[in-house]
Each structure stands twice: as structure tokens, then as C-alpha cells.
């Protein structure tokens, strides 16, 4: 039995990977605290994506932090990791204790409202350590999150709640895509953190 991972037998993927949803691990007050700290203390920048050969600036903002000035190539642009803030280090430790995994970096996304989302992708970029776990922490608006199998096309969704933790591991990124669909129903912002292990 894995004493660290209290959701060890609760894989929500039917096959070809492992995803564990821990639900809300932060109460409302702590979630609000971290949302405000991250909103104000993170160096948010607009992201760029390459769509049909055109470089577009997304409304969503991003930031990249880590143990070292790692380079990370994400949707065709390379970022150099900034050094951890106090809150990020605190969160990293909480998440490592909860999951029994170790992380050396974190990609942050700020969605100003439901109209901002992220298209289908998998996080198997070459910079990530192969089959390493990715821990996704959300603060702010509850949002729908969708998985789709790359070959079977089977898809299903769950709600990532304020203060929640989702862990993706094993072969998940090899076989499944995920996305955060845009929605007009959500008017409030959300911050998502994905703790990752970069290979170096
Ligand atoms: O905002 C989310 O929940 C998803 C973020 C994501 O998939 C990513 O940063 O790779
Ligand atoms: Fe992702």
C-alpha cells in the first residue's frame, strides 16, 4: 500500500494511464489566500501560440518557475524558469506530501474568465521526464476538464473545483489528450498550477 497517496485505488481513467482526482484539498479560505497571492506575486505574461502558421497572443496568461533556470518549450516558444516564490514552494511541498511525487518546476495559467480555455493537447513535451507525474492544482472558478483517448476517441470530463488537486501519471500523456473548454457560463477567473518534473 502506498501510504503517501491516499487516492491510490481511485484511478479515473478506464485504461492506458492513471489519473487521480483528490477533490478539494484546500478549504475556501486557503484557496482564496493562494489565489490572491498568486495573482499578485507571479510574473504573468501573455502566451503565444502558433495556429495555422500564425503567431497569436493568447488572452490567457502564463508563468514558468523551477529549481533552476530550466528552459521549457511549450506551444512553440521557449521560456526560462524563474526561481520559486515563497507561496509556490509552500504549495510544492504540500502537493509532494499529498502525492508522494517530487517536482522541480511549475507551469501556471491564469484564465481571466470562462471565455479563456486551452485546446486538446498532452503534456509529453520532450523536456519532461518520461512518464513522470504532473500535479494540477486549481484556485478560483470551477471549470470543466476533458480527457480524450488519442485512438479510441473515448472522452469524459470532470469538474476541477476551487482548491482541488488532480494527479496525472504513468502512460496518461502518451495515450490521452486533455483540454479546458471555454464557456460563457463562467465569469470569474481561475489560476491553474501544473507541477512537473523536467529532465535535465
Ligand atoms: O488549466 C488547466 O486545468 C489545464 C492546464 C494544462 O493542461 C497545462 O498547462 O498543460
Ligand atoms: Fe496540459
Least confident of 11-25, 53-67, 91-105, 127-141: 53-67
Section 43-60 average pLDDT: 81
Calpha distance 106→152 (Å, rounded): 30
Under a CB-based contact definition with an 8 Å cutoff, are residues 129 and 184 in contact?
Answer: no
Section 68-82 average pLDDT: 82
Q: Is residue 10 part of a domain?
A: no
Q: Is residue 3 part of a domain?
A: no
Check if 194 has its Cβ closer than 6 Å to any atom of ligand 1.
Answer: yes
Section 182-187 average pLDDT: 97
- Split at pLDDT 50, 70, 90, the class of 1 is very low
Burial of 153 (0-12, 13-18, 19+ CB in 10 A): exposed
Residue 128's CATH number: 2.60.120.590
- Identify the residue whose C-alpha is closest to ligand 1 atom 3: 192
**For residue 199, is pLDDT > 50?**
yes
**What's the CA-to-centroid distance between 48 and ligand 1, angstroms?**
15
Under a CB-based contact definition with an 8 Å cutoff, are residues 174 and 101 in contact?
Answer: no
Q: Is residue 138 part of a domain?
A: yes
Q: What percent of the chain has pLDDT over 70?
A: 92
**What's the CA-to-centroid distance between 180 and ligand 1, angstroms?**
7
* Grid cell listed for 115: 471565455
- pLDDT at position 56: 78
- Split at pLDDT 50, 70, 90, the class of 83 is very high
Q: Is residue 1 part of a domain?
A: no
Burial of 138 (0-12, 13-18, 19+ CB in 10 A): buried
Condensed to tens digits (0 to 9), the pLDDT of residues 84-129 reads 999 999 999 999 999 999 999 999 999 999 999 999 999 977 778 8
- Identify the residue whose C-alpha is closest to ligand 1 atom 8: 194
Of residues 1, 193, 199, the one with CA closest to residue 96: 193
**For residue 32, is pLDDT > 80?**
yes
Pairing relationship of beta strands 164-169 and 18-24 according to DSSP bridges = antiparallel
Q: Is residue 12 part of a domain?
A: no
Q: Is residue 8 part of a domain?
A: no
Q: Is residue 2 part of a domain?
A: no
> For the chain, what is the domain count?
1
**What's the CA-to-centroid distance between 196 and ligand 2, angstroms?**
10
Query: Can you give the residue range of the structural domain that contains 83?
Result: 18-196
- Split at pLDDT 50, 70, 90, the class of 79 is confident
Pairing relationship of beta strands 54-66 and 82-83 according to DSSP bridges = parallel
**Strand runs labelled E in the chain:** 18-24, 45-51, 54-66, 71-74, 77-80, 82-83, 105-111, 118-121, 134-140, 143-149, 155-160, 164-169, 176-180, 190-196
Q: Is residue 11 part of a domain?
A: no
**What's the CA-to-centroid distance between 183 and ligand 2, angstroms?**
18
- pLDDT at position 55: 76
Task: Kindly identify the ligand whose nearest atom is closest to the C-alpha of 58.
Answer: 1
From 35, 118, 123, 159, give the residue whose CB has the most ligand 1 atoms within 8 Å, as the site to mutate. 118
Strand, helix or coil for residue 35: helix
Check if 164 has its Cβ closer than 6 Å to any atom of ligand 1.
Answer: no
Amino acid at each position: 500500500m502506498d501510504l503517501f497517496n491516499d487516492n491510490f485505488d481511485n484511478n479515473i481513467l478506464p485504461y492506458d494511464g492513471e489519473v487521480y482526482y483528490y477533490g478539494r484539498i484546500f478549504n475556501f479560505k486557503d484557496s482564496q489566500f493562494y489565489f490572491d497571492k498568486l495573482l499578485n506575486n507571479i510574473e504573468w505574461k501573455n502566451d503565444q501560440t502558433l495556429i495555422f502558421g500564425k503567431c497569436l497572443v493568447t488572452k490567457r496568461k502564463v508563468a514558468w518557475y523551477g529549481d533552476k533556470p530550466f528552459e521549457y518549450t511549450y506551444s512553440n516558444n521557449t521560456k526560462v524558469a524563474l526561481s520559486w516564490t515563497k507561496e509556490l514552494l509552500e504549495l510544492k511541498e504540500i502537493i509532494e506530501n499529498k502525492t508522494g511525487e517530487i517536482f522541480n518546476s511549475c507551469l501556471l495559467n491564469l484564465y481571466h474568465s470562462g471565455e479563456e480555455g486551452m485546446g486538446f493537447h498532452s503534456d509529453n513535451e520532450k523536456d519532461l521526464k518520461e512518464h513522470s507525474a504532473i500535479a494540477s492544482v486549481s484556485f478560483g472558478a470551477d471549470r470543466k476538464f476533458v480527457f480524450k483517448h488519442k485512438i479510441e476517441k473515448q472522452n469524459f470530463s470532470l469538474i476541477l473545483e476551487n482548491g482541488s488537486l488532480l494527479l496525472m501519471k504513468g502512460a496518461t500523456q502518451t495515450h490521452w489528450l486533455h483540454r479546458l473548454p471555454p464557456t460563457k457560463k463562467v465569469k470569474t477567473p481561475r489560476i491553474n498550477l501544473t507541477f512537473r518534473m523536467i529532465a535535465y
